[in-house]
Structure 1
Amino acid sequence: VEKNVDHPLGTLLYSISTMHCMTVSLAMGGMGLGTMWGVELAQKMLAEAGFKSVDIKRLPHDIQNCFYICRK
């Protein structure tokens, strides 16, 4: 959370995450990660899934998304 304090959409995305995404995920037996589950956890889970190389790319005009290029 502390890394996202200055995110322009942080308040909105955390609200959507807790009120919808996490709730729906948990109700469906998922992990409840939500919208703002973070790059660090994504990298950890991808490594645990066997990916040896994980590159994270962002587009200059896109303040919300990260793109993961993964190789085994």
Structure 2
Amino acid sequence: MSGKHIVLYTSNPCAQCDKVRDMLDSWGVSYEEKTVTGNPDNLRTIQQEGIYGTPVTFVEGETVLGVQESRLKKKLTA
């Protein structure tokens, strides 16, 4: 679906993170997953963007918070 650079920030356990991961996988999208659980550097990275929860997906630097299937699809195909 997309050749864009995608980074998914997740935490454990996180049912919403699982949903976003499953969507991306079902669409055949390649992405880099970074967990904030036990990783203060990854947590600090999203906090510097004013984000304090997961999942958050960055598509070419643009943010999609939570599970927003239609918005995520739009960012991936734009």
Could you say whether these structures have the same fold, taking a TM-score greater than 0.5 normalized by the shorter chain as the test? no
Which one has the bigger strand percentage?
2
Output the TM-score relative to the length of structure 2: 0.28
Tell me the TM-score normalized by structure 1: 0.29
Which one has a larger percent helix, Structure 1 or Structure 2? 1
Larger gyration radius, structure 1 or structure 2: 1
Higher relative contact order (CA 8 A, sep 6+): 2
